[in-house]
Copies of this chain bind each other. A is one copy, B any other.
Amino acid sequence: RIMRPDDANVVGNVHGGTILKMIEEAGAIISTRHCNSQGGEPCVAALARVERTDFLSPMCIGEVANVSAEITYTSRHSVEVQVNVMSENILTGAKKVTNKATLWYVPLSLKNVNKVLEVPPIQYARKEQEDEGKKRYEEQKLDRLETKQRNGDVIIPVINPEPHTVGYSQSSLIHLVGPSDCTLLGFVHGGVTMKLMDEVAGIVAARHCKTNIVTASVDAINFHEKIKKGSVITISGRMTFTSNKSMEIEVFVDADPFVDEPRERYRAVSAFFTYVSLSKEGKPLPVPQLLTETEDEKRRFEEGKGRYLQTKAKRQAQMQQAAQP
């Protein structure tokens, strides 16, 4: 579809969250279709996880987003979908790859939302494809277990914070879940949640560096808990790390099912977003260093640095590999 002014920031770059929402919708369609293809109990595919996603080039107002999705692996209870987004300038004909994302879905029964159904297996062109898929499946399963730990943290507001401290840029947003935010099962679309997360992370980044910012990447996101229609969700973000030209922001989503539910507020999702600051010509700008004050902030900064260095090393390894004959 054509990108509109509301999809973009003031200089015309489309929000990463808008793109994540389109990606997730495409993934939900293809995996729901696949999981119902053998007849049997009708189901809706729910987003369980999005792998780390890089935004390769910014998309602009007036460009057309071409989204294509393909199922690349199926386990007994989950579907891996690869989604590619190309931006197309229909005036010049220029096309660019904006994103490649990998998403995992789980089929939930329409009649009983707590029942996970079986996934019809797909055919692989080559045996290696299945083996590689299985490896990815095992890796993400491990990673999902790990992130379950980190969920107790809260963001406490700071009065009169100093510029460039964590408290200075941290932000939160509340949203009342409406009917159009939800799937047929009455739970929030993963894409809607990611769009709100990107919105908060973008505000944190802009508050910190006071310039035009764009989403550079999103770390793997695990959707542990469903969010029901009528809930109030609080999305909070705080900066955890800055390199010379990038900022890492941690985002939490907490759900309050406070009507007709005996349940307490709970942490539904959390993730790391990386932003860069761009000049009007689209060049990366230096970013003010994050000032850490407490022990926790210093620890999180070091952890963020670890993730940053790991990603950098991985990318260099890939580039070297690509450069080899």
Contacts and interface: CB of A to CB of B under 8 A. Distances in A.
Interface stretch (A21-29, A47-55, A141-149): A21-29
A285 interface: no
A176 B159 contact: no
Contacts of A258: 32-33, 36, 206-207, 210
A2 B199 contact: yes
Contact of A172 (B42, B163, B172): B172
Nearest to A212: B259
Contacts of A159: 156
Interface in A132-166: 156-157, 159, 163
Interface string A270-289: 00000000000000000000
A44 interface: yes
A32 B184 contact: no
Contacts of A256: 33, 207
A280 to B, nearest CB: 10
A156 B157 CA distance: 8
A26 B179 contact: no
A96 to B, nearest CB: 15
Contact of A2 (B2, B28, B92): B28
Given A36-B92, A90-B29, A203 B178 contact: no
Interface in A1-42: 1-2, 4-6, 9-10, 25-26, 28-29, 32-33, 36-37, 42
A309 interface: no
Contact of A207 (B90, B180, B184): B90
A113 to B, nearest CB: 13
Contacts of A172: 172, 174
B180 A202 contact: no
Contacts of A110: 91, 259-260
Contacts of A28: 2, 176
A171 interface: yes
Contact of A229 (B10, B26, B88, B174): B10
A279 to B, nearest CB: 12
B92 A230 contact: no
A106 interface: no
Most chain B Cβ neighbours within 10 Å, of A10, A29, A163, A176: A10
Given A156-B159, A176-B202, A93 B37 contact: yes
Given A6-B4, A200-B174, A260-B110, A91 B180 contact: no
20 contacts: A1-B1, A1-B25, A2-B25, A4-B179, A4-B180, A6-B6, A6-B180, A10-B62, A25-B176, A32-B90, A43-B91, A92-B210, A93-B210, A156-B157, A156-B159, A174-B203, A210-B258, A210-B259, A211-B259, A212-B259
Nearest first, the 10 A-B pairs at minimum CB distance are A5-B179, A5-B5, A179-B179, A10-B230, A33-B90, A4-B180, A6-B180, A157-B157, A90-B206, A10-B62
